[in-house]
């Protein structure tokens, strides 16, 4: 059995995904009972389409972005075409835009309308229009997964939705953003101010030049929002998350915590109380009894408190594009695997 | 849609499972699209069978074991009958016997032959005859799951099989036995000998009167064996696991580790090297950089190293019967859930 994949956006994650397919497709077929085949990739200049499957070997030798798609088309003597939605699953890898959700939102709605399943590495469309996408998918009876948009290689949706199936989750609390955790760790370990630590993070390529989405807590907020909506079948929006970033954390505050053997972490959380869920992101002081105390540097981690299984904590997971691509691949496999 | 469950063995885990179904069945139906119904429970004296579903409310008011089944039958004016296998899924909860695998082994083979899926909380049959059960299941095209037999509420099989689907696992290393971890922690924190710490564990009901399965490493070995066979599609037996327990760990060794800021943990591991897997259980000295360093007391934890997603560590999960029952329920849900 073949499953036809259409990818939207051909950035670093999409390219790593293609490289993973190149090396893993045969073993996926033998282990999980289906062969994943990329038949289309949609970029800004149009769609690269080959019904028999794009040669990933060739494509991945050409860099990223629309230029790579154009280069491939020229080599093969074919034209980029307007998008069409005749695959089994859409793998959405366009850049996250939480203001408009685009272009991912339109891509997803088109693909769902055509009966395709959705696997997304991108947060924008879900943050902007979770309810709309969910309802469209439900109406069409198609599945959607978004591990890549909720801390990627750290299995957050999997634990909450699969490993804790049937259990009552009463609280989720996580360090979901590697950049802010790196900054806080660097402030702690080297006795630096926020600005000094941020500069180091930028020099190392960990923080972006405009770091506000990370340091103001929005990236963490998007992730806890998607997790909550995905796991609790809710339709919260970003406005429902109380958000406080780390930009006002001072050296003094860090020192004060250290003296008490505590650490300051940017925690994203959702708490169930009296059948009401509250979502927040804010810097919190935690003690060594909290397993997230030991999650340092760019690492991430998440704790699930449940009524039936007590507390489960997961930490780690690569934060590089290959890790995100592997999370996407996992979602694709879990959509179609033959279960035995 | 209803799914008929037949339970074998009615000990504490089976009873907790029935109690969970009692409180959760309606929400399972609305969330996952099927209604789990217990139609039969097999004990030493025969099978309690009610085609319309056993009244779990009544049954769970009667204690455990065959006496409870008999009591229920008498109240309802029905007879216990010889086992029959006309359900959708077998939930295997008989006591673990790794010498013979029985009675679970025969129960499972009968159920598979009748086309039933298998969810097991018991290790014995799988440790004794993994290959035979697997082949029988494959031949009949039925699914089998055994989270309850591989550290229960700590999601080991889920992480390895679901969250890391498609990734290459190169090493698994875990603290899979709460009793030995409690003993080692107690020796460390209170400067006690093995015998002294064992006695405390026994007084607290953490270690059994005959603790040898735990302290000699066999329980850990069974779990890493099942994990390996389940995740790597192998057919190793207990003889393939190099096993060393903690019974020879001295106070001096513990102190020596502590002086170097290290800790001794009983680690069960499987390592992939040159396409060859090696399994072992032995006490190992680990450093603070290892996330298992912080897993103390009766807690458990496991680390997966992969090529694509780096390292994932999971810790926690209740070790009480309700936690094991919740792990069984999760497996049942994941067999039948309607995926959207």
One CATH from 3.40.50.300, 3.40.50.720, 3.40.109.10, 2.40.30.10 for A2-153+321-336: 3.40.50.720
Mean pLDDT within A120-126: 96
Task: For chain B, say whether A291 makes contact (Cβ under 8 Å).
Answer: yes
**Tens digit of each residue's pLDDT (9 = 90 or more) over B242-272:** 999 999 999 999 999 999 999 999 999 999 9
Q: Which residue has the tokens 């969810």?
A: B119
Say if residue A340's pLDDT is above 50: no
- The CATH fold assigned to B157-315 is Dihydrodipicolinate Reductase; domain 2 (3.30.360)
ipTM: 0.95
Tell me how far apart the alpha carbons of residues B41 and B70 are, in angstroms, rounded to a whole number.
11
Query: Whose CA is closest to A109, among A128, A98, A332, A225?
Result: A128
Give the rounded percent of residues in chain A with a pLDDT score beyond 90: 96
**Tens digit of each residue's pLDDT (9 = 90 or more) over B41-63:** 999 999 999 999 999 999 999 99
Please tell me the predicted confidence (pLDDT) of residue B319: 83
Say if residue A40's pLDDT is above 80: yes
Nearest CA in chain A to B165: A330
How far off is chain A from B107, nearest CA to CA, in Å? Answer: 19
DSSP secondary structure letter of residue A33: S
C-alpha of B92 from chain center: 11
Selecting from A141, A158, A303 the residue whose C-beta is nearest the C-beta of B163 gives: A158
CB atoms A166 and B318 under 8 Å: no
Mean pLDDT within B295-309: 96
Question: What's the pLDDT band for A20 if we cut at 50, 70, 90?
Answer: very high
| Residues 6 or more apart in contact with residue B154 via CB below 8 angstroms | A312, B300, B301, B302, B314, B315, B316, B317
Tell me how far apart the alpha carbons of residues B192 and B197 are, in angstroms, rounded to a whole number.
6
Q: Are B92 and B121 in contact (CB under 8 A)?
A: yes
Catalytic residue among B3, B37, B145, B223: B223
Catalytic residue among A37, A223, A300, A330: A223
Tell me how far apart the alpha carbons of residues B326 and A134 are, in angstroms, rounded to a whole number.
28
Say if residue A181's pLDDT is above 50: yes
Tokens coding A5: 């994949």
Task: For chain B, say whether A52 makes contact (Cβ under 8 Å).
Answer: no
| Residues 6 or more apart in contact with residue A199 via CB below 8 angstroms | none
Question: What's the pLDDT band for A25 if we cut at 50, 70, 90?
Answer: very high
How far off is chain A from B75, nearest CA to CA, in Å? Answer: 30
Task: For chain A, say whether B33 makes contact (Cβ under 8 Å).
Answer: no
Task: Outline which parts of chain A fall under CATH 3.30.360.10.
Answer: 157-315
Neighbours of B35 (CB within 10 A): 17
Rounded to the nearest integer, the mean pLDDT of chain B is 96
Interface test with A, best of B309, B312, B336 (most A CBs within 10 A): B309
Please tell me the predicted confidence (pLDDT) of residue A339: 65
Which H, E and C letters describe chain B, residue by residue?
Answer: CEEEEEEECCCHHHHHHHHHHHHHHHHHHHHHCCEEEEEEEEECCEEEECCCCCCHHHHCCCCCHHHHHHHHHHHHCCCCECCCCCCCEEEECCCCCCCCCCCHHHHHHHHHHCCCEEEECCCHHHHHHHHHHHHHHHHHCCCEECHHHCCCCCCHHHHHHHHCCCCCEEEEEEECCHHHHHHHHHHHHHCCCHHHHHHHHHHCCCCCCCCHHHHCCHHHHHHHHHHHHHHHCCCCCHHHEEECCCCCCCHHHHHHHHHCCCEEEEEEEEEEECCEEEEEEEEEEECCCCHHHHCCCCCCEEEEEECCCCEEEEEECCCCHHHHHHHHHHHHHHHHCCCC
Task: For chain A, say whether B313 makes contact (Cβ under 8 Å).
Answer: yes
How far off is chain B from A309, nearest CA to CA, in Å? Answer: 5
**Tens digit of each residue's pLDDT (9 = 90 or more) over A258-271:** 999 999 999 999 99
Say if residue B176's pLDDT is above 70: yes
CB atoms A334 and B165 under 8 Å: yes
Respond yes or no: is residue A131 known to be catalytic. Answer: no
Please tell me the predicted confidence (pLDDT) of residue B338: 77
Task: For chain B, say whether A28 makes contact (Cβ under 8 Å).
Answer: yes
Mean pLDDT within B4-25: 97
Helix (H, G, I), strand (E, B) or coil at A318: coil
Query: Whose CA is closest to B97, among B126, B118, B119?
Result: B126
Helix and strand counts by DSSP (H, E) for chain A: 12, 12
Phi, psi at A48, each rounded to 5° = -85, 125
Mean pLDDT within A290-314: 96
By CB atoms closer than 10 A (0-12, 13-18, 19+), residue A288 is exposed
Nearest CA in chain B to A143: B340
Mean pLDDT within B9-16: 97
Please tell me the predicted confidence (pLDDT) of residue A318: 85
Question: What's the pLDDT band for B207 if we cut at 50, 70, 90?
Answer: very high
| Residues 6 or more apart in contact with residue B284 via CB below 8 angstroms | B264, B265, B266, B267
Selecting from B138, B309, B323 the residue whose C-beta is nearest the C-beta of A310 gives: B323
Please tell me the predicted confidence (pLDDT) of residue B340: 46
Cβ contacts of A158 on chain B, cutoff 8 Å: 158-159, 162-163
Task: Outline which parts of chain A fall under CATH 3.40.50.720.
Answer: 2-153+321-336
Q: Which residue has the tokens 């299995």?
A: A155
One DSSP character per residue, A268-284 reads EEEEEETTEEEEEEEEE
CB atoms B316 and A334 under 8 Å: no
Question: What's the pLDDT band for B339 if we cut at 50, 70, 90?
Answer: low
Rounded to the nearest integer, the mean pLDDT of chain A is 96
Q: Return the half-sphere exposure (C-beta side, CA atoms, 13 A cut-off) of residue B16.
A: 19
């Amino acid at each position: 059995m073949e499953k036809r994949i259409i990818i939207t956006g051909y950035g670093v994650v999409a390219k790593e995904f293609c490289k993973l397919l190149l090396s893993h497709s045969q073993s996926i077929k033998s282990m999980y009972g289906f062969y994943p085949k990329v038949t289309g990739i949609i970029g800004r200049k149009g769609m690269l389409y080959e019904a028999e499957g794009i040669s990933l070997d060739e494509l991945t030798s050409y860099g990223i972005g629309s230029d790579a798609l154009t280069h491939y088309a020229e080599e093969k003597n074919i034209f980029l075409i307007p998008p069409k939605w005749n695959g089994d699953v859409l793998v959405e890898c366009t850049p996250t835009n939480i203001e408009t959700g685009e272009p991912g939102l339109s891509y997803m709605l088109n693909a769902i309308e055509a009966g395709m399943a959705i696997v997304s590495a991108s947060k924008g469309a879900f943050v902007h229009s979770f309810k709309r996408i969910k309802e469209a998918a439900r109406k069409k009876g198609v599945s959607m997964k978004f591990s890549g948009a909720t801390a990627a290689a750290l299995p957050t949706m999997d634990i909450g939705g699969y490993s804790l199936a049937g259990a009552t989750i009463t609280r989720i609390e996580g360090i979901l953003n590697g950049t802010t955790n790196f900054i806080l760790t660097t402030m702690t370990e080297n006795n630096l101010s926020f600005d000094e630590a941020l500069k180091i993070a930028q020099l190392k390529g960990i923080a972006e030049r405009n770091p506000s989405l990370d340091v103001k807590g929005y990236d963490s907020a998007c992730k806890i929002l998607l997790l909550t909506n995905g796991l609790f079948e809710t339709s919260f929006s970003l406005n429902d998350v109380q958000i406080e970033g780390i930009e006002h954390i001072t050296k003094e505050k860090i020192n004060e915590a250290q003296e008490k053997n505590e650490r300051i972490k940017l925690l994203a959380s959702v708490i169930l109380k009296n059948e009401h869920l509250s979502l927040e992101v804010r810097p919190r002081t935690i003690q060594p009894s909290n397993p997230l105390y030991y999650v340092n540097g760019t690492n991430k981690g998440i704790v699930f408190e449940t009524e039936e299984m007590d507390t489960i904590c997961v930490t780690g997971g690569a934060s590089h594009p290959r890790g995100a691509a592997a999370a996407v691949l996992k979602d694709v496999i879990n959509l179609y695997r033959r279960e035995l």
